[in-house]
Structure 1
């Protein structure tokens, strides 16, 4: 028994599934969760088995039963009935087709993009490129605008903009193994938010999810935001 206890004491503690932290950048602060796609099970969620919108982090945790939810975030814009505005794939099933054309609001500020989740990788892909390449995604969510496109900030973002909001989004590494999810802790401009992914994390592609309704579930940060019912939710299932 003594040897067994000694082995337990010297074994390394299991690594956390998701690494979440507070990140300062450019005079603003962000809550950031980094997902390792080679290890973490990243999924998109919309409806429960009965066809009802999940809508809340606590409801998703209930559905997971004995599994845990170390990270979750709202993941794309939605209509009043919580249906996705753009392309959405859940567990291999297409719920909403791709929307390639410009339109009103932030979603239609082209170029917009798609977060595509495949086996052991996730990629933010500009919408027209996505439509042309037709990647086989297990999960996908379309949103807009793109924050960073091929290593360049969206050309509509102005450094002297005064339009500030709480914002959240995602950026992915070139090899698809790393996804950085961020939500601003204070109101930021699009230009500032894009700079977090481009300059601090040096990611070549990043996608905006939403503004005022942005929410994060991160037990590591002792945070699980509440509010009105959401549409698409992205999260890691442990």
Structure 2
């Protein structure tokens, strides 16, 4: 093969390789419809995709928006390719349940009873690190004495060992924009957000029946936000607490 043709072939292979890496980092965020409702689902491999939790910026203040998170990531020479709110928080934008970031526990597990979705027990923990990820009911997670690099507690659980949370009913009247996370048996992390108001039960069925997760956790509703260019954003809430993000770059 002439040298210039070899050069063209090498350039094409390099471009294809880089495109594959970028596509992997974007990890297949795609719109989908289930039972007449519209969602966006994003799949990531914790063994190869750079998934992290983010709360505060370099100034010690909560990042609060996906735009500020994108800027903070860019300052490190990387690019934010996905972000989503990571669980429930208080008026100071601080997590109200277990929160572990880069191996540091910044808030202890919350085992209290109370009102609201967080206390619709069982609630649960989404955890990841060292190429692994999982969703587990809070009590079981604490008994397992796991020590993940990242963890966030929220509630309620949507799916527990293949069964929909017993307190989520098919005739539930509350419908909101919702987001959550599940982990498949092969370790794939699946995030989903509704682009229209849906019931808890419909959202739980999405994770169990369409997305194939045996355990899934509700992250929040109404303030649910998704950043996953080139897809259009969902939500765009301006005062978020902790966020989940996936980055790409050197």
Please classify the TM superposition score into its range, dividing by the shorter chain length: over 0.9
Equivalent-residue separation in structure 1 for 2:57 and 2:120 (angstroms): 31
Partner of 1:111: 122
2:45 matches 1:36: yes
Bigger CA radius of gyration: 2
CA contact (8 A) 2:195 2:234 kept: no
| Secondary structure at the counterpart of residue 159 of structure 1 | coil
d(CA) in 2 for partners of 1:61 and 1:187? 27
Q: Distance in 1 between matches of 2:81 and 2:234?
A: 10
Partner of 1:211: 221
The 2-side partners of 1:124 and 1:192 are apart by: 19
Corresponding residue for residue 164 of structure 1: 175
Match of 1:196 among 206, 213, 216: 206
Q: State the partner residue of 2:11.
A: 8
Q: Distance in 2 between matches of 1:136 and 1:37?
A: 16
CA contact (8 A) 1:69 1:237 kept: yes
Runs of 4+ with >4 A deviation: none
TM-score by length of 2: 0.91
Instruction: Kindly indicate whether residue 141 of structure 2 is the aligned counterpart of residue 141 of structure 1.
Output: no
TM-score by length of 1: 0.95
Runs (5+) with no aligned partner, structure 2: none
Question: Contact 2:133 / 2:183 at 8 angstroms: preserved in 1?
Answer: yes
Number of equivalences: 237
Counterpart for residue 222 of structure 1: 232
Identify unmatched segments of 5+ residues in structure 1: none
* Partner residue, 2:35: 26
- Which of 61, 67, 87 is matched with 1:58 structurally? 67
Task: Tell me how far apart the structure 2 counterparts of residues 204 and 223 of structure 1 sit (CA, whole Å).
Answer: 28
Of 224-233 and 92-101, more deviation after overlay is shown by 224-233
> Retained in 2: the 8 A contact 1:57–1:224?
no
Take 2:233 and 2:120, find their aligned partners in 1: how far apart are those partners?
31
Q: How far is the alpha carbon of 1:10 from its aligned partner?
A: 4.3
Q: Distance in 2 between matches of 1:48 and 1:75?
A: 16
